[in-house]
């Protein structure tokens, strides 16, 4: 019995809502929308919004967006600067190390008595032996040293002809050259085609803080030229013997710049 009056009230509300909506529609229709304008004006009066306020809100929105974009761009710029500074720091550290190493090399070579002949690779045979330009015409001899662009020994001459020579390189299994470190320890450097094998043959001082193995006048070389760098390599000392293994990264090609060193 209680639900029946409730349903009737709902019906009455629906009917009144439809009647009111229809009345507003008819009033608006016959008044040429003046009734709607009146309601709109009253709404503006109850909730006044001036043009200055609208412009202020638009300005605030634009400033917030602009400031946000500026902050994002500034953060990106600063991040890129930090990355570039880190790169420059690494480059600087590497250059400092190279300068220090080069100074060590320069001290060990009497440049005034050395002449460099630039040569090129002519032919490569199946045993990784190379014919290079230059021979008796520039007074080359067997065992003359050949350097790469960085000044490291990468080969030596094994046979001399009139205008070309045959060289034995670090990627040849027959490569073998004596060397010495800054402590006076002597070594034999050989190759297995992929790695240089460094083994001591005479120990003057047991010290593993070795930077380079050099050629030396003690082995009838004209000066001290680096054969291999051990600064970042693992050097071991077992049974009174110093040894190390260094992977060969140098690649020979017909565009390689190689230099034959001779005494003036």
| CATH, residue 195 | 2.40.10.340
Taking residues 152-161, report their average pLDDT.
95
Within a domain: 131:
yes
Residue 147 within any structural domain of the chain: yes
Is 13 found in the same domain as 130?
Answer: no
User: What stretches of 39-185 adopt beta strand conformation (E)?
Assistant: 114-119, 121-124, 130-133, 145-147, 153-160, 164-169, 176-180
248 shares a domain with 152: yes
The band of 2, judged by pLDDT with boundaries at 50, 70 and 90, is: very low
The average pLDDT across 93-111 equals 57
pLDDT score at 52:
56
Residue 22: pLDDT band with limits 50, 70, 90: low
Which run of H or of E encompasses 207? none
Same domain for 257 and 168, yes or no, is yes
148 and 34 co-located in one domain: no
**C-alpha span between 231 and 250 (Å, rounded):** 17
Does 81 map to a domain? no
Assess whether 143 and 256 both reside in one domain: yes
Mean pLDDT of 238-262: 91
Does 234 or 29 have the greater pLDDT score? Answer: 234
Check whether residue 25 and residue 127 sit in a common domain: no
Within-domain flag for 119? yes
Report, as an integer, the average pLDDT of 203-208: 91
| 29, pLDDT greater than 80 | no
Q: To the nearest whole number, what is the mean pLDDT of the chain?
A: 78
Indicate the number of domains in the chain.
2
Query: Nearest-CA neighbor of 167 among 208, 220, 205, 120?
Result: 120
For 100, the token pair is 């220090």
In a domain, 204, yes or no: yes
- Work out the percent of the chain whose per-residue pLDDT is above 70: 67
- Side-chain-facing half-sphere of 169: CA atoms under 13 Å: 23
In which band, very low, low, confident or very high, does the pLDDT at 178 lie, cut at 50, 70 and 90? very high
| More confident call, 127 vs 190 | 190
Same-domain check for residues 255 and 155: yes
pLDDT at position 121: 92
Same domain as 241, residue 158? yes
d(CA 146, CA 130): 12
Residue position matching structure tokens 């050989």: 190
33 dihedral zone (left: phi>0; alpha: psi -120 to 50; beta): left
> Average pLDDT of 174-199?
95
Q: What is the mean pLDDT of residues 202-226?
A: 91
- Structural domain that includes position 37: 3-46
The per-residue DSSP string of 209-254 comes to ---EEE--GGGT-SS--EEEE-TTS-EEEETTEEEEEEE------T
Q: Is 6 left (phi over 0), alpha (psi -120 to 50) or beta?
A: alpha
14, pLDDT greater than 70:
no
Same domain, 134 and 253: yes
Is 62 a member of any domain? no
Same domain, 14 and 120: no
Looking at the structure, tell me whether residues 40 and 121 fall in a common domain.
no
The pTM for the full model equals 0.59
The residue that leads in pLDDT, 3 or 188, is 188
In a domain? residue 91: no
Contact 193, 172 (CB under 8 A): yes
Q: 123 and 225: one domain?
A: yes
Residue-level pLDDT at 55: 55
Q: Quick check: 20 pLDDT over 70?
A: no
Q: Give the torsion sign (CA, 217, 134, 153, 128).
A: negative
Compute the average pLDDT of residues 194-219: 93
- Res. 5 pLDDT band, cuts 50 70 90: low
Residue 66 maps to a domain: no
What's the pLDDT band for 160 if we cut at 50, 70, 90? very high
């Amino acid at each position: 019995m209680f639900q029946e009056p409730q349903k009737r009230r709902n019906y009455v509300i629906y009917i009144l809502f439809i009647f009111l909506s229809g009345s507003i529609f008819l009033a608006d229709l016959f008044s040429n929308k003046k009734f709607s304008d009146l309601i709109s004006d009253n709404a503006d009066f109850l909730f006044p919004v001036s043009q200055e306020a609208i412009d202020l809100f638009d300005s605030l929105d634009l400033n917030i967006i602009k400031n946000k974009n500026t902050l994002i761009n500034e953060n990106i710029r600063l991040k890129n600067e930090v990355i570039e500074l880190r790169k420059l720091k690494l480059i600087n550290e590497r250059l400092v190390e190279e300068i220090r190493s080069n100074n060590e090399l320069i001290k060990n070579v009497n440049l005034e008595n050395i002449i460099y002949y630039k040569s090129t690779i002519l032919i490569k045979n199946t045993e990784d032996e190379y014919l290079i330009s230059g021979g008796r015409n520039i007074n080359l001899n067997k065992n003359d040293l050949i350097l790469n662009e960085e000044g490291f020994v990468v080969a030596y001459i094994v046979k001399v002809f009139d205008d070309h020579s045959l060289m034995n390189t670090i990627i040849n299994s027959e490569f073998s050259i004596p060397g010495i470190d800054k402590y006076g320890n002597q070594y034999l450097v050989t190759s297995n085609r992929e790695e240089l094998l460094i083994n001591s043959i005479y120990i003057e001082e047991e010290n593993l803080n070795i930077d380079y193995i050099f050629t030396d006048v003690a082995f009838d070389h004209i000066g001290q030229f680096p054969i291999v760098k051990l600064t970042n390599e693992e050097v071991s000392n077992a049974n009174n013997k110093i040894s190390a293994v260094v992977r060969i990264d140098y690649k020979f090609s017909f565009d390689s710049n190689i230099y034959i060193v001779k005494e003036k």
